[in-house]
Amino acid sequence: MTIPRNEDERERRERVADRLHSASIHLLRRLRREDDESGVTAPHLSALSVLVFGGPRTLGELAAAEQVRPPSMTRIVRNLERDALVEREADSADRRVQRVRATERGREVLLAGRRRRVASLAERLEGLGEEELATLERAAELIERVLRE
C-alpha cells in the first residue's frame, strides 16, 4: 500500500515545522544571554520591545500583546518607569486614557540589546560558506513571508 502524496507532504511540513520550532527556541535562548548586559529582565525587555516597535499602548493593550494579566503589566510598567525606560502620557483623543510609551533611553537600551544579539549571531555565522549563508538568507525570507501570511 502506498501513502498518498499529500500525506507525505503533510508529514514533511510537520517535520520541518517541528525542526524550525526547536531551532528557533534554542536560537533565542542562546541570544537572550546577550540581554543580561542590559540589566533589564526578559519580561521587561519584551514589553519595551512592543512599545519601541509598535508605538504607545494602554496598559490593557500592552498586557494583551504580552499575554499577561493587567496587574502583572502594571508592575512591569512601574519598574520600567522607575528605570526611565518608559513614561505615561495622556491620549490625544481622550485625556482620561493613559498610554505608555518608550523613552529615548528605553529605545536606546532596547536597540543596543538588539545590536548585541545580531552581532553574536553574525559571529556564529562566520564559519559558514557562501552557499550556506545564501541558504540561510533565503530561509529567513521564507520565514518572514510565512509569518506575514
Evaluate whether residue 2 is within a structural domain.
no
Evaluate whether residue 59 is within a structural domain.
yes
Output the pLDDT for position 93.
83
Evaluate whether residue 72 is within a structural domain.
yes
Evaluate whether residue 112 is within a structural domain.
yes
Q: How many domains does the structure of the chain reveal?
A: 1
Return per-residue pLDDT of the chain as tens, 149 residues: 555 567 799 999 999 999 999 999 999 889 888 888 888 998 999 999 999 999 999 999 999 999 999 999 999 999 999 999 999 998 888 888 899 999 999 999 999 999 999 999 999 999 999 999 999 999 999 999 999 98
Output the pLDDT for position 5.
66
Evaluate whether residue 1 is within a structural domain.
no
Q: How far apart are CA 8 and CA 6, in angstroms?
A: 5
Domain carrying residue 48: 8-148
CATH number, domain of 66, equals: 1.10.10.10
Rounded-to-5 percentages of helix, strand, coil across the chain:
75, 5, 20
Backbone angles phi, psi at 55, to 5 degrees: 90, 175
Evaluate whether residue 16 is within a structural domain.
yes
Measured CA to CA in angstroms, residue 115 lies from 81, 107, 120 at distances of 23, 12, 8
* DSSP 8-state secondary structure symbol assigned to residue 102: E
The pTM (predicted TM-score) of the whole model is 0.79
Evaluate whether residue 56 is within a structural domain.
yes
For the range 19-22, what are the long-range contacts, defined as Cβ-Cβ under 8 Å and sequence gap of 24 or more?
20/143
CB 50 within 8 A of CB 62: yes
Measured CA to CA in angstroms, residue 37 lies from 41, 113, 117, 145 at distances of 10, 8, 11, 32
Evaluate whether residue 34 is within a structural domain.
yes
